[in-house]
Structure 1
């Protein structure tokens, strides 16, 4: 009988340990990496399929047209890097209106300390200068001080970091002007035209100079610098104080949306571009 009791105790202990391990595994599974990806392959080739009501894909289209033209967005099978489709944008040059057209994914929660990897394929079908063309934005709209409103310009109400053509024509760089930082610029590798180009943007998020910023074009590293890549409360307070504005960065501070496409086209020409194989991973 004593041996039987010992046997039952061992069995019970084994079940308890197994359940405890399962609980740990379940807890770990809730903290797995956030991954969102889209190859723009709707079943019926309809743009609306990218924006389902359940929010599992993209959230909205951001579009601002210049005065005398209407920017375009569509699913296309004329150019693609994988699968059978890609997303096509035609964005006209800006005039009194800052011209833009892109798609937006909301509901992110990217905070200091997170490692973020954004990848996408681009095909730029243009020989125009690409100076200042913006392709990807990572933004924090909720951190803007509501008491300031749009007194500082509605374009600045979503601080963040962006991928922008800089350095004279078509050198992809990391633009930080909306968080009061300088552009992390490179002029060694020009962005290829009329061919598919793979872009890999990797960051460890920080509101100090300890933030890590890495950029690769077709697998070639073009930037690897430590620098601030999130809004900093003191920096914002000081910058606005110089203009007589009392600004309080809202907390918690996190990036809640990503945009891709022609997030702004202040260039001197009209740009046709294609996007495929987008992904964002947050660790």
Structure 2
């Protein structure tokens, strides 16, 4: 009997506006490091299979489009995937405001994800996303801050999610969004964030959720650059239009980028700004 597979698109693209206090010094190099069953990435990736022996698993496609002004340093987002149990994916979005203090916003998110990648099989983590955030944050020494989301799939089906800030996740089932995370904000355009400073949030501030997945569900995950620029209805349409999950991830990221470059497009971010 074949193991059920849940699809996951990780589309990390940039947001039009970052009005946040936070980092830029030396540009980090783009790299991906394979460590046993873990893959940590800061650069675009077409597709990476995540397989586990027995039970359910994720089939993952990813695509990254950095902000045009940040292409040379690879952008400020980072993510990792792991084949531990049913599969893990995490996204961290470095907060751009740190550049005003001559700090590279990418360094904090890169280090945070590197530590998270190395800690997924730590006994103290116990395959718990909130605990993983706790330990990865404690190990991060770079100056800066980042929003973060971690999703862990159990082999028996539950997807455990912990998020701090406005990175997001949608579960699409049979042409409908059946689950959506909500952004955590102090006020509009000022999300919760893990920080090198004591004034930031901690793992205790994370929103923790568990979602029961069904075979064939699509999980779309990304930074606010995706959800600020693409409506949920568009996400559903694109997910349903592609059989290949890597192609779907690329299409979602490209759509986010195209919308962000269109000054006439009334984006989810624009509509929320007017409401606020």
Same fold? TM cut 0.5: no
- Choose 1 or 2 for highest CA Rg: 1
- What TM-score does the superposition give when structure 1 sets the normalisation length? 0.28
Higher relative contact order (CA 8 A, sep 6+): 1
Structure with the bigger percentage of helix: 2
Task: Give the structure-2-normalised TM-score.
Answer: 0.28
